[in-house]
Each structure stands twice: as structure tokens, then as C-alpha cells.
Amino acid sequence: VLNLYILITPFLSPSPCDFHICPLTNYYKRILLSVSYSLIFLVGLSLNGALLWSVCGRTRHWRSTVIYMTNLAVADLLYCLWPFGNIMMFLTCISMHHFIGVCFPIATVRPRTKKLAFFASGLVWVLATAEILLTLVFARTGVINNITVCFEMTTATQFKVYFPYGLFLAIVGFLIPFITVVICYCSMIKVLHCRAADSISTARTACMRNKSLYILLVVCLMFVVCFLPYHFVRTVYLFVRVSMPGDCHLLNAVMISYNVWKPAVSFNCCANPFLYFWGSGGYNKLWVWLRRKKKRVIISEKKATIAHSNRNTLEASSFSAYLES
């Protein structure tokens, strides 16, 4: 088993045939990425499937939050089944909707917020599809020493062309949504904290407000941990590949960091349904429903057993009476 693989990086020169070959450490990827992606696939598929079933099958009134969460669950499922997704944009829509609901509660009562949720969700799908179309163009495989390999992002000859597109994805697909989400959640935390200080609340209201603050902090922290390191390292990797292709030591360090933080982004598709169930109380409702269903099954089985026993007793009594006669 080879512990090294070759990364071909182009020099910044007019000739397209000038390349630099860097041996990079590769052994950690076989264990880290295989195990992490397998767990993320199984857990993410199960949790998002349960979320879709809970939201779509047991929701009578489709509010704006339900619309966004349904689209987010679908995006998470697609991410589990396909390496590209539009999770960031739906998280941005949800954070903006919550921000309006907390900071401007009267605005969310208006009927058009539901139509706006459908429109925003459709727009996100269109924008995300348009963003990843070029990814399909740049994605390439090649043959090195009679072995078919998948290139990181794109081939060495196309990397300079890919560089502007990579920066575009970092800005539009991460930076703008990230700033929007952080501003919205920080504003919500500030508003809830100020309301708690200015008003006299009951114990139940104070408990609900503290829970909301705690959930907002957890969501904001999860958002930062899952997305910020990966996109930062990915942007650094783009600049190193284009500007300093001959520095193999730096390229190796950045490449390792880039691959280590890859599973953190994917972990977000597992955390989203968990946070939804925890924050909305949906976990308790789902658990109660499953327990009730289990009890109904047990009761039905008991009734069937009793009926079968009574039938056997009746048949035995009839047979005994027949013998006595």
C-alpha cells in the first residue's frame, strides 16, 4: 500500500507543459474519510429521513419554518447521496426567518411569509443548481501509470481556470451566507437578552427564553465549527496551488488540513435534524408516538393471544364433551 501520492501542480509560466511534482502524504485518508463518510451517510440518511417523515407526514399546517426545514432535510439527504449540496443557503433562509420572527414578530404573522418561504426555497434550488453546473465541467478523472485517478477539484492544466470559480464558490456559497447567518443569530441573541433584562417574566417564560438562547448559541457555534475551518483551508489551498506550487512542504500541510476538515462540513447534515428535534420538541413527540404505537402493537398481540387461547380452550371443551357423549 502506497503512503504517498503525486500531486501535479503547474508553474506560473506561459508554457502549459511546465509542471511540478509533489509527493504528498495520503495514508490517513483511507481510514479517516472512509470511516467518517460511512458514519455520516448512515446517520444522516436515518435522521433526515426521520425528519422528513415527521414533518411531511405529521404536519397539518405548513408554516414557513416547516417549509424551510423540509427543503433543508431534502438538501441534507441529497448531500448524503451526492457530494454537492445547497445546505448553506437553506440555513441562511432559516436564520433570516428566525431573525425576523424574533426581532420583528409582527411581520411574521402576515400571510405572505408562507408564499415568501416557497419562493425563497425555489430560488435557492435554482441558484445552487446554477452554482454546481461548472463543478460538473471541471470534475475530471485521468490515468496515471495505468491507474484511473480522480483529480482534486480539477486537472492540473485547468486549475488556473478553476481558481476564479473556486473563489466565486467561496464568496457566494459560503462567505455571504456565513456573514448573514452570524449577524442574524447574534441579533436574535441580543434581542432575547435585552427583553429578558427589561421585562418581568414568569419562571416558565424565563426557562423558555434561556432554552432559546442556548439553542441559538449551539447553532451558531456548530455553524462556525462545521463550515469556517473547511472553507478557510480550502481557500488557502486554492492560493497555494496557484501561487506557490513548488512549495511541497506547505502544499502537503494545507492538503492534510483540507482533507481533515472535509468530514466536519458533512457532519452538519447530521446535526441539522438533531437540532430541529431538540429545539422544537419534535424528539419527545416522535418518541411518545413510537411508544404509543409499540403499546398498540403489544395490546393487539395480547388480544390475539387471548383470543387464540380462548379458541383452543373452547375446542378442547367441545372435544371432551363429544368424548363423554
**Interval 291-312 mean pLDDT:** 51
CA distance 37 to 83: 11
* pLDDT for the residue 63: 73
CA distance 153 to 22: 17
**Interval 189-216 mean pLDDT:** 72
Domain boundaries, the chain: 32-280
Q: Supply the mean pLDDT for the chain.
A: 70
Q: Is the pLDDT of residue 93 over 70?
A: no
Give the confidence band of 232 by pLDDT, cuts at 50, 70, 90. very high
Query: Does an H or E element contain 129, and which?
Result: helix 112-138
**Interval 273-290 mean pLDDT:** 60
Domain 32-280 has CATH 1.10.10.10: no
Q: Is the pLDDT of residue 3 over 50?
A: no
Give yes or no for a contact between 118 and 67, defined as CB atoms under 8 angstroms apart. yes
Q: In this structure, what C-alpha cell is assigned to residue 176?
A: 455571504
Which residue in this structure is represented by grid cell 496557484?
242
User: What is this structure's pTM?
Assistant: 0.69
Give yes or no for a contact between 50 and 72, defined as CB atoms under 8 angstroms apart. no
Q: In this structure, what C-alpha cell is assigned to residue 110?
A: 402576515
Give yes or no for a contact between 5 and 14, defined as CB atoms under 8 angstroms apart. no
Q: Is the pLDDT of residue 316 over 70?
A: no
Is the backbone of residue 147 left (phi > 0), alpha (psi -120 to 50) or beta?
Answer: beta
Full 3-state SS string of 182-211: HHHHHHHHHHHHHHHHHCCCCHHHHHHHHH
CA-based Rg of the chain, rounded to a whole angstrom?
Answer: 28
CA distance 253 to 240: 11
* pLDDT for the residue 15: 46
How many other C-beta atoms can be found within 10 angstroms of the C-beta atom of residue 271? 19
pLDDT in tens, 151-163: 777 777 778 888 8
